[in-house]
Amino acid sequence: QQQVKQSPQSLIVQKGGISIINCAYENTAFDYFPWYQQFPGKGPALLIAIRPDVSEKKEGRFTISFNKSAKQFSLHIMDSQPGDSATYFCAASSGSARQLTFGSGTQLTVLP
Amino acid sequence: ETGVTQSPTHLIKTRGQQVTLRCSSQSGHNTVSWYQQALGQGPQFIFQYYREEENGRGNFPPRFSGLQFPNYSSELNVNALELDDSALYLCASSRGTGSSSPLHFGNGTRLTVT
């Protein structure tokens, strides 16, 4: 019940295209859903996060869509750039310890 | 503002040995969390320290232990190392434990157990 399932495992997009990564969860106690970006040799960096009381959040080219009834959320990267090439992780948490449960990651490659 | 720093960056140990990894939290942050990231996988929560006390623990055996110091820096200790302990160990700090306190990760310590 603690799992967060992420797809696809890898994604190749042309420059200027839209990258879409999906995640699904089972634990209805989750109340915080962040997305992290990780470059090789670096730690994950927070991109954007959402709570279940809103259905969409946009920050620049990054948008989270959240479907509480389906227990799914997704990351959309608009106008994808080669510099966006990285591994993206969705995550979820609940409780005061802010224990993040991560998805398995999506390796995004944006072709020039 | 100084970010989260971890040391060492790389470490090679032999099965059965013990290891200590260190983390300095970001300025102004009083909470430290440790995660294990196996190759090609997402990070897995080990435990969190707040006010020098363990505040939540993931599904890791007792041979994984930690400390937080009065300056909020932290150590992760792993005893009786096993081959499966080979991973990237990530430290993350935050200002408090609540949901309004996003985690800031360091670049990790790459541990190889042979």
Nearest to B107 among A42, A93, A96 (CB): A42
pLDDT, one tens digit for every residue, chain A (112 residues): 569 999 999 999 999 999 999 999 999 989 899 999 999 999 999 999 999 899 999 999 999 999 999 999 999 999 999 999 999 999 998 876 678 999 999 999 999 9
**Residue B69 confidence (pLDDT) above 80:** yes
- Strand B104-105 and strand B10-13: pairing? unpaired
Q: Is the pLDDT of residue B28 over 70?
A: yes
Q: How many CB pairs under 8 A join A and B?
A: 66
Confidence (pLDDT) at B96: 78
User: DSSP secondary structure string, B1-13?
Assistant: ----EEE-SEEEE
| Integer Cα distance of B36 and B76 in angstroms | 11
- Test A6 with B108 for CB contact under 8 angstroms: no
Q: End-to-end alpha-carbon separation of chain A, Å? A: 40
Residue B1's pLDDT is 58
Nearest chain B CA: its distance from A71 CA (Å): 19
By residue count, chain A amounts to 112
Taking alpha carbons only, the member of A99, A102, A97, A33 closest to residue B96 is: A97
Task: For residue A32, give the DSSP letter.
Answer: B
Distance from CA of A41 to the nearest CA of B (A): 7
Q: Closest Cα of chain B to A39: distance in Å?
A: 10
Three-class secondary structure of residue B74 per DSSP? strand
What confidence score (pLDDT) does residue B78 get? Answer: 98
Is a pLDDT exceeding 80 seen at residue B50? yes
Instruction: Indicate whether B70 pLDDT > 60.
Output: yes
Amino acid (1-letter code) at residue B84: D
**pLDDT value at residue A95:** 73
* CA-based nearest distance B39→chain A, Å: 10
Give the mean pLDDT of chain B: 93
**Does B107 sit within 8 Å of A98, measured CB to CB?**
no
Find which of B45, B54, B57, B68 to mutate to test the A interface (most A CBs within 10 Å of its CB).
Answer: B45
* A46 chain-B contacts, CB cut-off 8 A: 102-104
Taking a C-beta distance cutoff of 8 angstroms, is the pair A46, A98 a contact?
no
